[in-house]
Amino acid sequence: MHVIVVGCGRVGSGLALQLSDAGHHVSIVDKQPGAFRRLPHGWSGQKVLGFGFDRAHLEEAGATRADALAAVTSGDNSNILTARIARETYEIPNVVARIYDPRRAEIFQRLGIPTVPSVTWTIDQVFSRILPGRAPFDWTDSSGRLHVVERTLPASWAGKRINDAIAAQLPARVKLAAICRAGEPILDVSSAIGQEGDMLHLLVPSDADDAFRRAFSFDSMRTTNPGNAGGVTR
């Protein structure tokens, strides 16, 4: 897979290395030449000197063929602009943005862009958001038989009753526990209709692991944005 990381700070460089080690092709973008010193000599990925919200720089980084993008610079405005261009212009299916000001989280959520506040940010969290289905479970009980998992709502589930979508694609043992929408938790999920940007919290028994990973695999979640009239055809 081709992944673009915008921002070569501590998180961005660490994420780029982890993605490369996992076998993905990575392009990393930063406006400061010195930032690339965080990457080891001979790193196999692509380095692009520039801005994540500049389309020429994004295209140099491979935006027209990218499978995922993480905007992890130190600026909320830069991250949201980069994420919007990635989603709306290049239709990159999996986009995640780092956010410092939690009051802006609702803006990202309404745009359907998963976010993690800086205070709780980890490389593992962004990894799980840009490569859904490829990351480990978020929590496992002491028996090892029950997992709690957070995943972004698949685009094909938007506008549908979430429990119906789950029933159609997953074993009955998988249960929807809660939804996080625009930064607010929803606990009454029995008849909830999916909205773009929803974060689903699911209970997954270990014997349903394979079916869950298939339903939330990267390829199954790749869709184009039907409302994007001027985007790139993927």
Per-residue pLDDT of 108-145, as tens digits, reads 666 667 666 654 455 656 666 666 555 455 677 767 78
CA-CA distance, 222 to 234, in Å (whole number)?
A: 10
Q: What is the pLDDT at residue 217?
A: 67
**Domains of the chain by start residue, with CATH:** 2-130 (3.40.50.720), 139-216 (3.30.70.1450)
Q: Of the given ranges (14-18, 136-140, 211-215, 228-232), which has the lowest mean pLDDT?
A: 228-232
- Round to the nearest angstrom and report the end-to-end CA distance of the chain: 14
Greater pLDDT, 216 or 74: 74
Q: What's the chain's average pLDDT? A: 81
pTM of this structure = 0.61
Q: How far is CA 72 from CA 38, 82, 182, 199, in A?
A: 15, 10, 20, 19
Helix (H) or strand (E) holding 15: helix 10-21
Query: Is the CB of residue 58 less than 8 Å from the CB of residue 38?
Result: no
Greater pLDDT, 198 or 136: 198
Q: What is the pLDDT at residue 225?
A: 39
Q: What is the pLDDT at residue 100?
A: 78
Tokens 């506008």 -> residue:
159
pLDDT at 2 over 90: yes
What sections of 37-180 are H helices per DSSP? Answer: 55-60, 76-88, 105-110, 123-130, 162-169
Both structure tokens of 33: 């030449």
pLDDT at 234 over 50: no
Q: What is the pLDDT at residue 150?
A: 83
Q: What is the pLDDT at residue 109?
A: 65
**pLDDT tens-digit series, residues 169-186:** 888 889 999 998 877 889
In the chain, pLDDT over 90 holds for what percent of residues? 42
Both structure tokens of 211: 């079916």
Q: What is the pLDDT at residue 110?
A: 67
Both structure tokens of 40: 């080891």
pLDDT at 53 over 90: yes
